[in-house]
Amino acid sequence: MAEIKENYDLTPRVAPNLDRHLVFPILEFLQERQLYPDEQILKFKIELLNKTNMVDYAMDIHKSLYHTEDAPQDMVERRAEVVARLKSLEEAAAPLVTFLLNPNAVQELRADKQYNLQMLKERYQIGPDQIEALYQYAKFQFECGNYTGAADYLYQYRTLCSNLERSLSALWGKLASEILMQNWDIALEELNRLKEIIDSKSFASPLNQVQNRIWLMHWGLYIFFNHDNGRTQIIDLFNQDKYLNAIQTSAPHLLRYLATAFIVNKRRRPQLKEFIKVIQQEHYSYKDPIIEFLACVFVNYDFDGAQKKMKECEEVIVNDPFLGKRVEDGNFSTVPLRDEFLENARLFIFETYCRIHQRIDMGVLAEKLNLNYEEAEKWIVNLIRTSKLDAKIDSESGTVIMEPTQPNVHEQLINHTKALSGRTYKLVTQLLEHTQGQAAR
């Protein structure tokens, strides 16, 4: 376990790209998996909480850490300050909050923001100061850990806000709130909305835009491995040129999650070939068992190495906060993802091994698949029945006989044409974006 902590725990790389509130679920995971001493985790929690308004939570952790019933005086004073500030913000936002809680009044709002601002000013004496107060109140609610209230008020604020920068900040807060409430469908909608803004907005510098993309990908990890369609969504996002470039230059550790998604997502198998090229480029600059597994299978054809890496991959998945699954009884179970991963990993080994060997000894294959002889035979029979592999098992000799088929000339021509069309489309898209960027200047 010490090796996993030292080499494979990505928390030190991931946490700086998250809002501090989003780090708490990671610390909870690490604590319940007992990957680090409780004392160390509790100290990290207090350090994070000191920069929020969750003072009661900080007090509870302090008491647990130091085995006392008394909270430090500075925490007591800090709590009084938070309560007073919350009351002040609540009073400042009260006119607009009262309006938003009135269904009949809310019906007067339209899609036109300028109309709404004028109407609120004339009929309800609500102006820019009250709208700004709503934002500050929502932000304070978030810092207090009231994510439901924060999400509601931030949504309402964005319908009235005409400041693009402040509206973007509110959207980040809304996304974080939905993630923390585990509202995965809504969170995915907010993620896609934020992506559209990041990709179309004019930033002060290209580096700022890249940083926003990196933040978005890190925050999205919560969604991608919890949403029903998340493993497809992560490939759609991370595998885009602009986002993949950001990963390669500034966040190569995210390749772990993209690689995992490729392995468990059979529908995106055609895109795997291009991803293997990325692995070849990054293989010496970033080490990870899941990345190294793919390199063993598809780059080096080292099937013994791949079999060994599978065990490391299983350990990594079980102990990764995003790949690990938590069930209601408080225990951690990664059975769905872990089993999917191992099943598809074996399939990768089998398919690749069979492509370069016409006759395969069943005992050797069982060893490479990390199965006993009977399990391997049953697994291969089922695979042959359910796939397009042209193979048969010779029970007498205990071998699998492959009859590889090569695509005919017509199929090869179609494949080359598809590839050429894809590269042409990418080139035209890049030229159009460059032209539009020049015109905007």
The amino acid sitting at 94 is A
| Average pLDDT of every residue of the chain | 88
Least confident piece of the model among 17-26, 175-184, 316-325, 377-386: 377-386
Domain boundary among 338, 356, 374: 356
Looking at the fold, whether 352 and 424 belong to one and the same domain comes out as no
Residue 435 clears pLDDT 80, i.e. is over it: no
Looking at the fold, whether 418 and 344 belong to one and the same domain comes out as no
Grade residue 383 by pLDDT with cuts at 50, 70 and 90.
confident
Cβ atoms of residues 142 and 173 within 8 Å: yes
Looking at the fold, whether 340 and 193 belong to one and the same domain comes out as yes
Residue 437 clears pLDDT 70, i.e. is over it: no
What's the whole-number mean pLDDT along residues 258-284?
91
The answer as to whether 226 is a domain residue is yes
∠ CA 50-332-220 to the nearest 5 degrees? 60
301-335: per-residue pLDDT in tens? 999 999 999 999 999 999 999 998 644 444 444 44
The answer as to whether 279 is a domain residue is yes
Q: What percent of the chain has pLDDT over 70?
A: 86
The answer as to whether 135 is a domain residue is no
Rounded Cα distance between 198 and 289, Å, is 32
Q: Extract the tokens encoding 279.
A: 């692995």
pLDDT score at 329: 40
Looking at the fold, whether 349 and 201 belong to one and the same domain comes out as yes
Least confident piece of the model among 174-178, 337-341, 365-369, 403-407: 403-407
The SS3 of residue 394 is: strand
Cβ atoms of residues 295 and 280 within 8 Å: yes
133-176: per-residue pLDDT in tens? 999 999 999 999 999 999 999 999 999 998 999 999 999 999 99
Grade residue 179 by pLDDT with cuts at 50, 70 and 90.
very high
Domain of 434?
414-440
The answer as to whether 290 is a domain residue is yes
Looking at the fold, whether 218 and 351 belong to one and the same domain comes out as yes
Looking at the fold, whether 296 and 421 belong to one and the same domain comes out as no
The answer as to whether 285 is a domain residue is yes
Residue 44 clears pLDDT 60, i.e. is over it: yes
The answer as to whether 399 is a domain residue is no
pLDDT score at 2: 40
Q: Residue with structure tokens 């049953």?
A: 378
Beta bridge partners of 393: 400
Domain boundary among 316, 335, 356: 356
Residue 412 clears pLDDT 60, i.e. is over it: no
Strand (E) or helix (H) holding 137: helix 128-143
Rounded Cα distance between 190 and 174, Å, is 8
With CA atoms as reference, report the closest residue to 239 among 208, 209, 215, 217: 217
Looking at the fold, whether 214 and 344 belong to one and the same domain comes out as yes
Looking at the fold, whether 196 and 321 belong to one and the same domain comes out as yes
Q: What percent of the chain has pLDDT over 90?
A: 65
The answer as to whether 397 is a domain residue is no
Looking at the fold, whether 195 and 319 belong to one and the same domain comes out as yes
57-91: per-residue pLDDT in tens? 999 999 999 999 999 999 999 999 999 999 999 99
The amino acid sitting at 56 is D
Rounded Cα distance between 410 and 164, Å, is 53
Looking at the fold, whether 297 and 422 belong to one and the same domain comes out as no
What's the whole-number mean pLDDT along residues 264-291?
90
Looking at the fold, whether 427 and 305 belong to one and the same domain comes out as no
Residue 364 clears pLDDT 50, i.e. is over it: yes
The answer as to whether 262 is a domain residue is yes
Looking at the fold, whether 428 and 321 belong to one and the same domain comes out as no
pLDDT score at 160: 94
Domain boundary among 321, 356, 391: 356
- Structurally, the chain folds into a number of domains equal to 2
221-259: per-residue pLDDT in tens? 999 999 999 999 999 999 999 999 999 999 999 999 999
Q: Helix (H) and strand (E) counts for the chain? A: 23, 3
